Amino acid sequence: MNVLITGAGGFIGQSLAAALVTENKIASLILTDVVEPAAPDSATSMTRCVKADLTSQDSCDSLLTEDLTHVFLLHGIMSGAAEADLELGIKVNIDATRQVLDTLRRVNPRTKVIFTSTTAVYGPPPSPSFPLTEANAPSPGSSYGAQKLISETLLNDFSRRGLLDGRIVRLPTVIVRPGKPTGAASSFASGIFREPLNGQRSILPVSKDLSIWTCSTRTVVKNLIHARDIPAEKYEGGSRVVNLPGMTVSIHEMLAALKAVGGQEALDLVQEKRDAAIERIVESWPAKYDTSRAQKLGFAEDGTLEQTLQEYIENYGKKDP
């Protein structure tokens, strides 16, 4: 396999790259982002890191060569940032994605393209207890969701026409993201764990009664690799879209998990400070899903919140407060 990961500088891209370099079937791995991404610690000469702007046709022509077999499209402007800057969101989330897909279908038809979309393509559900499936019509409540839906539709159509072999996975909110807060409206979902576990204060910008659909990093990476390996004929009904497994958790439950793992001293570092803009975006995301299709296709279920936090500590360490 000759693999390219876009948006490889992000934590999911880095985690995916670290998993792929351990596979014997990988002949070459290219990691690209707007800033040159780091290579995994276990990387060999088969791994190449490239700084590239995917809105540039020259960059696409250089990267998207006929020997590629698999492309993971992870690049994007996140939810809060895409809402704040419409033009940038369109440029990166739609224009760059279309340019990649158009180049691939011209240079190397039938390339397997694993596209990370989002459950933000849905608007608010009919009721909070209503579990959504892939059959429910998307009605995005944010520019980010709308932009991802446009790219989903394009890749799905290219797959229908036999131009590319797409696998579209709608990710839950992934926790716990290492590093600094991002432009995602859901950034707080990692921040209320990450900062307190490192002895730092964190802001909670939404109501504790809010529930969100989440998944751990390890499970998401496992499912991205699984999406790569599913035979095309297994996708029934003409759609390549799959809502990945996750779990519905309330902010109350998240804080309880933080206390269970980090103690009261960690919990005390979370400060409530409501942000209407963030709350409005996150409230538009459904929190319950029927993932029967994902289960039928063999995607992995997630573990408990406490397990997710222990995995974060194991992967990234924990400083003493």
Catalytic residue among 122, 144, 289, 312: 144
Q: 135: Cβ–Cβ under 8 A, 6 or more apart, which residues?
A: none
Active site residue 144: yes
Q: How far apart are CA 21 and CA 27, in angstroms?
A: 9
Q: How far apart are CA 43 and CA 47, in angstroms?
A: 6
Q: How far apart are CA 219 and CA 215, in angstroms?
A: 7
What b/e sequence results for 97-132 when a residue is b if at least 16 CB atoms lie within 10 Å of its CB, and e otherwise?
bebbbbbbbeebeebbbbbbbbbbbbbebeeeeeeb
Q: 43: Cβ–Cβ under 8 A, 6 or more apart, which residues?
A: 17, 21, 29
Q: How far apart are CA 62 and CA 30, in angstroms?
A: 12
Among 214, 30, 46, smallest CA distance to 118 is for 214
Catalytically annotated residues: 144
